[in-house]
């Protein structure tokens, strides 16, 4: 599950962002696609409260981490959840 820690994008990432991503990864272990929305919202809002903004590349990396080891159906649920979260965040 933690192969993503070796991803090249992680090497230069802000340590605060990395810690938030690690926390999200731990909280999503064993969860299905539908139960990931609250974790994602917590990650994003927690980061915003600390003045942290994720780049699109960093968000893509987080999404790929969330999808890791999930079925195709769960991956689609994650994609739908991400769209919902992003739509909410634009308001």
Condensed to tens digits (0 to 9), the pLDDT of residues 54-86 reads: 887 777 777 777 777 778 888 888 888 777 777
Which of the 8 DSSP states describes residue 50?
Answer: T
Q: What count of other Cβ atoms lies within 10 Å of the Cβ of residue 76?
A: 13
Rounded to the nearest 5 degrees, what angle is found at the Cα of 24, between the Cα atoms of 21 and 26?
110
Contacts of 21 (CB under 8 A, 6+ apart): 13, 43, 58, 61, 62, 65
Condensed to tens digits (0 to 9), the pLDDT of residues 4-49 reads: 677 777 778 888 888 877 877 777 777 666 677 677 777 777 788 8
Backbone phi, then psi, for 54, in 5-degree steps?
-85, 140
């Amino acid at each position: 599950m933690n192969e993503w820690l070796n991803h090249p994008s992680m090497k230069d990432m802000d340590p605060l962002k990395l810690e938030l991503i690690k926390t999200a990864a731990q909280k999503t272990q064993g969860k299905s696609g539908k139960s990931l929305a609250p974790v994602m919202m917590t990650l994003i809002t927690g980061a915003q409260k600390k003045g942290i903004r994720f780049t699109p590349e960093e968000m893509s990396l987080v999404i790929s981490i969330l999808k890791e080891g999930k079925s195709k159906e769960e991956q689609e649920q994650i994609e739908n959840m991400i769209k919902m979260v992003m739509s909410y965040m634009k308001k």
